[in-house]
Structure 1
Amino acid sequence: MNSRLLSRLRFPSTKALAPKNGYLRSAFYSQQNAPSTIKKMSAGSVLALSLASATAIGGVVYYGFMDKPQKELVEYNKNVVKSQQFQRKPVELNLTPPKFDLESTEPVKKRMEKFVLALQKSLVGNLEALDQNENKKFYWDRWTREDGNGYGISCVLQDSNTFEKAGVNVSVIGGPVSKQQLDSMRARKVSPEIDEKVDYDFWVAGISTVIHPSNPMAPTSHFNYRYFELTKRGDPEHKVVTSWFGGGADLTPSYIFEEDCEHFHQTLKDASDKHDKKLYPEFKKACDEYFTIPHRNETRGIGGTFFDDLNDRPLNELFHLVFDMGFAFQNSYLPIIAKRKDMPFTEEQKLWQQIRRGRYVEFNLINDRGTKFGLFTPGARIESILMSLPLTARWEYMHKPPPGSEEEKLLNALKTPRDWVKN
């Protein structure tokens, strides 16, 4: 080994480099100088000494870094990693609904079909903007019923940046009414004109959306709107026996943020108030009653609006209402996701979110009429019906949150529904 070269080996004195533009900082540690002279040795001895010297130098450097880290340096670098993990471009959402044509003379069923397709396209675009993942987009699954009676478009995103699972489904289908469906209509007293001895066909156009964010601070939400027509089977004129609108939107948080709950409800109330100020109190009450898990004695979430079998005024007026309520969902929910999606959270908070999603599964499979209707529909597309279920969920035996905790605060809100609107 060249003695001159070895004699020049030095370690700089300890010095932390100042951070620039958020880059990670590094430090150098000083060690004792290497010997400057080497006695004459054989070639083999020199080689052995060279290898030993290199090993020693590597060991000194390794243990210098690994055994003597600066605590403040380690913490600084951790914080940089965390901040850079969530450095994303500002989210630009398009929350302006298309212009509603008050003068349109198209049949309501045609207008409803255009509406659900337009809302699906708008919502998928905004959800992708929130997700900010160039490598993963919604999967568009276009399908046609095997019997030819209708089609659907299922848009699903899962395991991405912001959303663990998000689905925006549209279906425009028809077919024979099953006995279970007819029994449900009669039980709800949809129309006195429905005769149990008559065979009926249905036609329905609807949009159904369930969004499960990854961050437990960001709430799950669901909405759906649909228009339903019933005709006598074999009627050459296809005269509509009865028709109605149904739908609503609700919020299911794992953690309560008062301002989020108030914003969600206020936005939906403003949309319904444009048509009739009596509607929101009725829709809100119906939502609290419908989205209840009886065997848990708690609601699924903090409510929203819900209505079914709505046919108490001209169809054109009802369609206008549904149009406004549908697009209002984006204004009520998406700003909440933008605000909460990158908040820090703990492993315990993530586990709590999974437990709450277990409750979501219980309601959807046991109590939800829409799920049952879909499962009882001949030729139903099961993947689209069960799209609403979360990607992951958890059930812990006898789980009970600590008294006074944020988790208990949520349970208290679910045990006793409250009014979230201030005016």
Structure 2
Amino acid sequence: MRPTATLSASSSLNYGFPIPPSSSTSFTPTPSPTNCYFHPSAKKFSSLRFKPNKRNITRSAVSIEKEIPETERPITFLRESEGADVRARFEKMIRDAQDSVCAAIEAVDKGGKFKEDVWSRPGGGGGISRVLQDGAVWEKAGVNVSVVYGVMPPEAYRAAKASPADQKPGPVPFFAAGISSVLHPKNPFAPTLHFNYRYFETDAPQDVPGAPRQWWFGGGTDLTPAYIFDEDVKHFHSTQKKACDKFDPTFYPRFKKWCDDYFYIKHRGERRGLGGIFFDDLNDYDQEMLLSFATECANSVVPAYIPIIEKRKDTPFTDHHKAWQQLRRGALCRIQLGL
């Protein structure tokens, strides 16, 4: 049997990441609450958020109808009039990304298969939720897409646009689409991955003639290991940088810092993981360029992550290593719940 992997304290400290206790230390793992396996933005639009902020408060306030289970996935969740615009191309992108990520995960697992749920909404839109559970490699993997129509209350629109208090537009129709995922491997030496990419658009307020349509992109991909391997971190970040550099050399340092700052837990004095890229409310570039950029980021998930899983999935581990993974996963869940 190959020797089990180890982690030096110095490596951990360099990343601002919790240090695993020594094998002689006794500790009790914290179970992961079942509802902390990330459920998709598909089912609850407010799940697109990571942390509360002005825009996310807006998203949690919007009106969305209850979903209806469907037996077959449609060719598109869009309305008939939307066949060639950014909405249609973004939907195609996230559905293609869902297919490619799920295919890669199943190929690594060599036996586990995703269970798929399709749903729709009476007012338009819907989603596809896929979960693989208790596979050979994956404890649980969720990859989900949604295309949602709704109505934003006036107060939410004012918060989103930082409008003056005396400006009181009527209800604002909105469109949102996204892919969101959390991937939990069984092996403690194989890292968890989070990624999501989304597009949000509002129509002109009903009683504000001539108001421009608003739109923005958001998302990111980040790595959360229980044990750190420098070569894995370098591979992951170099792949993210390569994707960013195709569009703007300032993107990677800017979005990496954004990710580092966004997922820093102040009351714990630690980072959620080893970072990646993150951006939100992005609309200060050409829309076509940002659509291509979001597509490139989504397409970089498999080459950034799967080689790491292939390398670590069969690493021998002990009950002690597994307990540390559970402890870290429980902490992650509490962080996601704001605890």
Using the size of structure 1 for normalisation, the TM-score is 0.57
> How many residue pairs get matched?
257
Deviation, 1:181, is: 5.2
Q: Secondary structure at the residue paired with 2:195? A: strand
**Match for residue 91 of structure 2 among 97, 100, 113:** 113
> What's 1:393 paired with?
none
Q: Secondary structure at the residue paired with 1:217? A: coil
Aligned partners of 2:123 and 2:267: how far apart in 1?
Answer: 40
Where do 1:5-404 residues align within 5 Å? 106-133=84-111, 136-145=112-121, 147-178=122-153, 182=157, 185-186=160-161, 197-234=169-206, 241-366=213-338
Deviation, 1:114, is: 0.4
Distance 1:356 1:222, change over 3 A: same
The amino acid that maps onto 2:194 is: H
CA contact (8 A) 2:183 2:192 kept: yes
Aligned partners of 2:209 and 2:131: how far apart in 1?
Answer: 38
Distance 1:143 1:285, change over 3 A: same
The percentage of aligned residue pairs carrying the same residue is 48
The amino acid that maps onto 1:122 is: S
> Which string of whole-angstrom CA distances, capped at 9 and with x for unpartnered residues, describes residues 320-356 of structure 1?
1111111011110111011111110010110100111
CA contact (8 A) 2:259 2:277 kept: yes
The amino acid that maps onto 2:324 is: W
Q: Secondary structure at the residue paired with 2:202? A: strand
The amino acid that maps onto 2:293 is: L
Deviation, 1:174, is: 1.2
Higher Cα Rg: structure 1 or 2? 1
Aligned partners of 1:273 and 1:197: how far apart in 2?
Answer: 40
Using the size of structure 2 for normalisation, the TM-score is 0.71
> Which string of whole-angstrom CA distances, capped at 9 and with x for unpartnered residues, describes residues 104-128 of structure 1?
x931111101000001011111100
Distance 1:197 1:237, change over 3 A: closer
Deviation, 1:253, is: 0.3
Q: Secondary structure at the residue paired with 1:140? A: strand
Q: Secondary structure at the residue paired with 2:337? A: helix
Aligned partners of 2:90 and 2:97: how far apart in 1?
Answer: 11
The amino acid that maps onto 1:137 is: K
Q: Secondary structure at the residue paired with 2:233? A: helix
Aligned partners of 2:168 and 2:311: how far apart in 1?
Answer: 51
Aligned partners of 1:272 and 1:337: how far apart in 2?
Answer: 23
Structure 1 residue ranges, 4+ long, deviating more than 4 angstroms after superposition: 178-184, 194-197, 235-240
The amino acid that maps onto 1:264 is: F
Aligned partners of 2:198 and 2:156: how far apart in 1?
Answer: 16
Deviation, 1:234, is: 3.7
Q: Secondary structure at the residue paired with 2:123? A: coil
Deviation, 1:258, is: 0.2
Q: Secondary structure at the residue paired with 1:148? A: coil
CA contact (8 A) 2:153 2:170 kept: no
> Which string of whole-angstrom CA distances, capped at 9 and with x for unpartnered residues, describes residues 189-245 of structure 1?
5x89x9554422210111001100000000000110011101235479997521000
The structure, 1 or 2, with the larger RCO (C-alpha pairs under 8 Å, 6+ apart) is 2
Q: Compute the RMSD of aligned alpha carbons.
A: 2.6
Structure 1 gaps of 5+ residues are 1-104, 368-423
Deviation, 1:179, is: 7.2
Deviation, 1:359, is: 1.8
Structure having the higher helix fraction is: 1
> Which string of whole-angstrom CA distances, capped at 9 and with x for unpartnered residues, describes residues 272-307 of structure 1?
001000111010000011112222121100000000
